[in-house]
Structure 1
Amino acid sequence: MRILIQKFGGTSVATAERRKQVAVKVSEAVSEGYVPVVVVSAIGRAGDPYATDTFLNLVRGVYPDVPRRELDLLMSCGEIISGAVMVSTLQSMGFESVLLTGGQAGIITNDNFGEARIIRVEPKKILEYLERGVIVVVTGFQGVSEGGQVTTLGRGGSDTTASALGVALEAEAIDIYTDVDGIMTADPRIVEDAQILDTVTYTEITQLAHEGAKVIHPRAVEIAMQRNIPLRIKSTFSDAPGTLVSSLQPDMSAGTDITGDRLITGIAHTPNVTQIKLAMQDSEDVRGVQKKIFKAMALAEVSVDFISVQPESVLYTVRDEVADKAAEILQNMGFKPSIIRGCAKVSIVGAGIAGVPGVMAKLVEALSEAGVDILQSADSHATIWVLVRQENMVSAVQALHKKFRLGA
């Protein structure tokens, strides 16, 4: 069987008209000789009657500290509703179809409610239906623990479901359908001439996703990469070819090119972060102090990012909404943190960065010309990050997009 995973997000299944467009995409896959497995998210977004956030607001309006087990049961309902309506839509168009919850589809997770990790997939039931010619619709974002408890997979969980099923079923490809035509060189709401990328590597899209691009969850990419299954990011509402995510370096031709000539793939940004800086005293046990700082953050469940540890100082960032909590913890430990609120992390991503001189020079030049101060920087083999004040975020993204000639 030529199995194809098709995942449709909340906006794709939000209305009857859009669900019919989804059914058309499924029909096209069948006509092309594929055996589709459809993964759906909950209908709509916050404020819509069957969206996950709507359910959460309902119960938290009664009691704010609902147990995580019960929250997972509640949050699983959105995809079940969406899946049942999607099966009805397919059947109304003459396609025999069946709905399976994550657990029924064989998605086994640990018992970390709200942020469960998939341990394995047992796709026997899915394969039985596929062999009978039945289109299987699977609820995304959820699974069951070894003990049979319903769990949810956290942010981007439906993408993760699609990739896990793709690996377990040895699918030819995993199509992630959304409301945009593909992955772009930057957020088009910020950069008018942002371009759709025809191809990106797994490494590049993982970095872009980690740094703020919201088209696909990085965990889903990492799972697909394990078996080298191509991911395709497409729009439900157009016939655009979208973006192909694979292990192949862009701009390569078989038997000719050795490396691609694309230096930078895209610009990503993450707003609403706070920089925390702690000066180390000469008399202090620096290593011991550094250990205490990050252990305290971990115990308080404060996620830290953009970490720079030096003999004379420790710098890191946290989300704006937990900045006060982080500062209070440090003050109670006897520290006097220097805090800059309202920052943004801006990243340039490209598999071609590694070993190429002058990239950082161009970045600094672009931001200097735009009047943007760099508060902190770091780099890896495929990414360079800078921290800027949030009021300069848009200018920084636009300046870098132009400097690296990513536009039309």
Structure 2
Amino acid sequence: MSSTSGSTPVIDRTLTSRSPRQPYGREVTDKALKSSDRLVDTAFLRDPYPAYHMLRERGPIHWSEEFFGGAWLLSNHEDVEAMLRDPRYSARRTGGWVMRGSDDDRQALCPFQRLFSRAMLFVDAPDHTRLRQILNAGFRPAALRAFAGTIEQMVAGLMAKQSGTEAFDFMESIARPLPAMVIARLLGMDGDHQPDFLAWSEDLAAFIGAPDPDASLKRRAQVSLLKMAAAFEAMLARRKAQDAGESQPEQRDLIGHLLYAEAEGRIKGGAELLAQCAMLLFAGHETTRNLLGNGLHALLSHPEQWQRLRQEPELLPNALRELLRYESPVQYTGRRVATDMLLHGRQLRRGDLVIGLIGAANRDPVRFPNPDRLDVTRRDGSHLSFGHGPHVCIGAALTLMEAEIVFRALLRQWPTLSLVDAEPDWNGNPLYRGLTTLRVRQGSEAA
């Protein structure tokens, strides 16, 4: 069943208003959004795609005050793709995000902003180029291929724990622990802090995923990020003592590459180094977890597609691209306008926030015929779930490798897997779309 069937758009009325961002004071008499209209509601969190289609039908760009106090929304594939590669859109956007609020709030959140803003996700060239070159060494194809056997062992171990169990929660049993285990191993972390890191990451995800986070979300995220940074700081100190003199690139994990770059002066110690460690840990499991859960739910909700993969497992790499398009783990991303520009007749001013709705772009009928249909053989168009341009996801190849290993194992070991619950339990995060639970049965019939 298509994820849009039986749903209605969250905004279904014709709107007329004067937009606060219209060029030259022009009146808006088309189907623009009003500042009072809410896009993100309960229906949207359950199924955002009718709302995305509605936005696209009403125009290529809309101003919404629901996102971070005001932002332009882009929903067409062409526009979102252009935003992601165009240097006129800056990734430096954390100031208005973290520091919005009262003077007391801004003062209290300065430690958060100092660390958060230094992550590679939120800097532009040349700093972004420098940091990416350092981290690329840990994601080389040869290094990932050598790691595949370890991931296969991890998957086999997690699946073995469900042996003889008729029904189980796939998110709790496999989708949540596996990516955390993988990124922890790649970082060279010990296992002592892994439960803490996961809890801290949940607080960061809640903050980053809120369209307009309140002070309590910000403060909780700050506490967790600072705890994460302190744990990494202690770990880095131990590693510096243990790894003194180690210089062979093939022997380094991700933290080893960062420490070597620090010793060479290519990365600054303190906040810049700690920010990259925290970013890698957080981003390394959030997207992968949701790809695994969303992907399995989509396939089991479309049993003919699951059956097709059983019959033709060589389609799996292509199927993963389709699953990413169909139910993107990351639904949107933001940029700040670096210079005044006109876009579709609208005046975008320097400093304006622009939200590229990745989930909408991935369902754009101009790029993807019949976009609400899941088709593991689809080969038209390219999804934007890993981003595009300079900030394309550095761990995309790792995520795809993990997912392919998991789905191959599921198809081989549990070919008659089926859903237990008719309605999925979505996490309610509009940015990181994923499932809280996904109960499945090792059999052909659902309860």
TM range (shorter): under 0.3
TM-score by length of 1: 0.26
TM-score by length of 2: 0.24
User: Quick one: higher RCO (CA 8 Å, sep 6+), 1 or 2?
Assistant: 2
Looking at secondary structure, tell me which structure has more strand per residue.
1
Looking at secondary structure, tell me which structure has more helix per residue.
2
